[in-house]
């Protein structure tokens, strides 16, 4: 893997901007007027999981919030404000929480490993672990980490669904669909955890179904 200097990043940026303008004259000017992304991505900060590259989307096409282990909690003003802007102002059509197999934050939570200040943040993932302790016990040890990554995505999708922002959007019949995906570092592919929700009545059945799928798949 290359290890460029900071100066090199500016050189690469100039090359990228020039190539974009050469291939698509007016590209940057057209984005200046307004952003109209149809998607919002809530993902892990992990450097190996870049939203635009994985989905083949260009600047202007996806609104992104990332934190350690893609956690959504109602008291996180940063995350909730980002969701609010995406839904109320940008009118995104689909919002996906995207975890990834091999997540270091999830592993620290699974094994109660101390990492520092982030232990407090990862308490939210430990809560997910504890809520699904019986299920995780039934998963073969080698799959347990990936299973918790998936359960964490499912729980965070539910947390998004319970925010006032999403509830208000649905109650005024604004169409916004929530999704839970997991990305595999091993092959670069996204997997749909089949927890797509676009109404309050779907939360419970969608969660049950998605959790069942985690166990049946991991045990297979």
Which residues are known to be catalytic? 44, 46, 48, 100, 103
Query: Which residue number, 34 or 53, has a Cβ lying nearer to Zn ion?
Result: 53
| Residue 90 C-beta: closest distance to Zn ion, Å | 25
Q: In what order do the strands lie in the sheet with 62-67?
A: 62-67, 39-44, 94-100, 177-183, 190-192
* Token pair in block for residue 72: 């959504």
Considering only the stretches 41-49, 120-128, 165-173, 192-200, report the one whose residues sit in contact with Zn ion under the rule CB under 5 A.
Answer: 41-49
List, as one string, the DSSP characters of 154-191. HHHHHHHHTSHHHHHHHHTT---EEEEEEE-TTT--EE
Please report whether residue 103 would count as binding Zn ion according to CB under 5 A: yes
- For residue 37, the tally of other CB atoms under 10 A from its CB is 19
- For residue 77, the tally of other CB atoms under 10 A from its CB is 9
Considering only the stretches 14-22, 50-58, 96-104, 151-159, report the one whose residues sit in contact with Zn ion under the rule CB under 5 A.
Answer: 96-104
Query: Which residue number, 60 or 104, has a Cβ lying nearer to Zn ion?
Result: 104
Considering only the stretches 34-42, 45-53, 195-203, 212-220, report the one whose residues sit in contact with Zn ion under the rule CB under 5 A.
Answer: 45-53
Q: Identify the residue among 44, 97, 128, 153 touching Zn ion (CB under 5 A).
A: 44
Q: Identify the residue among 37, 42, 46, 197 touching Zn ion (CB under 5 A).
A: 46
Considering only the stretches 29-37, 46-54, 134-142, 159-167, report the one whose residues sit in contact with Zn ion under the rule CB under 5 A.
Answer: 46-54
The H helix count followed by the E strand count for the chain is 10, 5
What's the Cα-to-Cα distance from 203 to each of 73, 110, 163, rounded to whole Å? Answer: 16, 25, 12
Query: Which residue number, 100 or 132, has a Cβ lying nearer to Zn ion?
Result: 100
| Residue 7 C-beta: closest distance to Zn ion, Å | 29
Please report whether residue 146 would count as binding Zn ion according to CB under 5 A: no
168 in Cβ contact with 83 (< 8 Å): no
d(Cα 28, Cα 184) in Å, to the nearest integer?
Answer: 32
Please report whether residue 150 would count as binding Zn ion according to CB under 5 A: no
| Residue 162 C-beta: closest distance to Zn ion, Å | 23
| Residue 124 C-beta: closest distance to Zn ion, Å | 13
Show the beta-strand stretches assigned E in 36-113.
39-44, 62-67, 94-100
* Residues in touch with Zn ion (CB under 5 A): 44, 46, 103
């Amino acid at each position: 893997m290359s290890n460029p200097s900071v100066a090199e990043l500016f050189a690469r940026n100039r090359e990228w901007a020039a190539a974009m303008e050469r291939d698509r004259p007016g590209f940057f000017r057209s984005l200046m007027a307004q952003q109209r992304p149809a998607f919002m991505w809530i993902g892990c900060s992990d450097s190996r999981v870049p939203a635009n590259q994985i989905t083949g989307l260009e600047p202007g096409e996806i609104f992104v919030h990332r934190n350690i282990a893609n956690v959504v909690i109602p008291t996180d003003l940063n995350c909730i404000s980002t969701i609010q802007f995406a839904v109320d102002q940008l009118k995104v059509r689909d919002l996906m929480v995207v975890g990834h197999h091999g997540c270091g934050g999830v592993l620290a939570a699974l094994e109660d490993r101390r990492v520092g200040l982030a232990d407090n943040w990862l308490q939210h993932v430990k809560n997910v672990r504890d809520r699904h302790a019986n299920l995780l016990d039934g998963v073969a040890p080698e799959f347990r980490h990936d299973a918790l990554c998936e359960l964490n995505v499912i729980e965070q999708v539910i947390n998004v669904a319970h925010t006032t922002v999403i509830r208000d959007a649905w109650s005024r019949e604004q169409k916004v669909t929530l999704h839970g995906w997991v990305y595999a570092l091993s092959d670069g592919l996204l997997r749909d955890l089949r927890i797509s929700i676009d109404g309050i009545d779907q939360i419970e059945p969608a969660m049950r179904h998605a959790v069942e799928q985690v166990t049946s798949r991991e045990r297979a």
